[in-house]
Structure 1
Amino acid sequence: MGVEIERKFLLLGDAWRTLGTAVPMRQGYLSSNKARVVRVRIEGEHAYLTIKGQSVGATRGEWEYPVPLADAEQLLALCEQPLVEKVRRRIAVAGHTWEVDEFSGVNAGLLVAEIELASEDEAFEKPAWIGAEVTVDARYYNSSLVKKPFTTW
């Protein structure tokens, strides 16, 4: 079984905007049930099908598989609406990679950074542009943003 240990934070300021390379993403959910999330994602010219189990703290099961881009486009049409649209920057900081997401569409204005860890208590350096932690706040789960978009909060 794959395991994802991920912590999620809000952003401060704009210093992160000059770092990393921006990659557009569109993703949708065939299932957004918290016990079993099934996501389709197009990231640039690549596409993936991801299955995630229920979160326990910052940890959950995760399985991800590449799929043909044409299949992903068709699967997105089957997904719950609206789709999640964002631009992601991967930024290396002190041996870790931060994934910074700037959302658009119905989630415009939301800025979130995530870091994947080897264990929940693993130490990591927080850049100055990292703000409050929202790891256990379900409103910030991408699958939750389909049901209650950020612009409606």
Structure 2
Amino acid sequence: MAMEIERKFLVRAERLPVLENGIYIEQAYIPTTNGTTVRIRLAGELAFLTIKTKASGFSRREYEYQIPVADAQEILQEACPIGHIEKRRYLIPQDALVWEIDIFGGDNEGLIVAELELESEQQEVELPDWIDREVTLDPRFSNFSLSRVPYKSWPLQEAQAGQ
């Protein structure tokens, strides 16, 4: 069992450094009723099944298992026919940390989010100038929420407030 401690931020696209070697990710969620999420993800040539418990602050338990790509493709088609997330992920190292920059496509096109996994909720982080604002505790920006209520479907004022 692993504890995921993650912070999420909106990004000022015009300030990002040049991004290279991104990996295409497609993912969707199998419905549950208790706040736990079950995610199927295709990431380049790999596939994963991930179970995440309901978040408490910045933290939640995460269980992730690599699965055969063919199984993931079948599950995405059969068990998750709607609500797919498409994004390209880029990595930017900073000191001992790595920023994950997700540039969304499909129904969430226009949204750019940066995520950072930490050792503790109290860990200090120097924010790069391309960070706009933190959205860690805003449920609209969870990938699960974006799979249900995509960014492109938000009212214009809400989408602009999110950016």
2:43 paired with 1:43: yes
Paired residue for 1:133? Answer: 134
Q: Distance in 2 between matches of 1:80 and 1:10?
A: 28
Partner of 2:113: 112
Q: Equivalences for 1:56-67 in 2 at 5 Å?
A: 56-67=56-67
Counterpart secondary structure, 1:18: coil
Q: TM-score, normalised by structure 1?
A: 0.95
Contact 1:30/1:80 (8 A) holds in 2? no
Unaligned runs of 5+ in 2: 155-163
Matched, 1:124 2:111: no
Match of 1:95 in 2: 96
* C-alpha RMSD of matched pairs (Å): 1.4
Q: Which has the higher strand share?
A: 1
Contact 2:5-2:118 within 8 A present in 1 as well: yes
The 2-side partners of 1:45 and 1:54 are apart by 29
Instruction: Render the CA deviation track for 1:43-102: whole Å, top value 9, x for unaligned.
Output: 000000000000011000100000000000001111151200000001101211000000
| Structure 1 residues 98 and 34: alpha-carbon distance in aligned structure 2, compared to 1, 3 A threshold | farther
Shift of 1:32: 5.7
- CA distance in structure 2 between the partners assigned to 1:136 and 1:34 by the alignment: 19
What SS class does the counterpart of residue 82 from structure 1 fall into? Answer: coil
Between the aligned partners of 1:16 and 1:34, the Cα distance in structure 2 is 37
TM-score (norm 2): 0.89
Match of 2:12 in 1: 12
SS of residue in 2 equivalent to 1:70: helix
- CA distance in 1 between counterparts of 2:83 and 2:122 reads 35
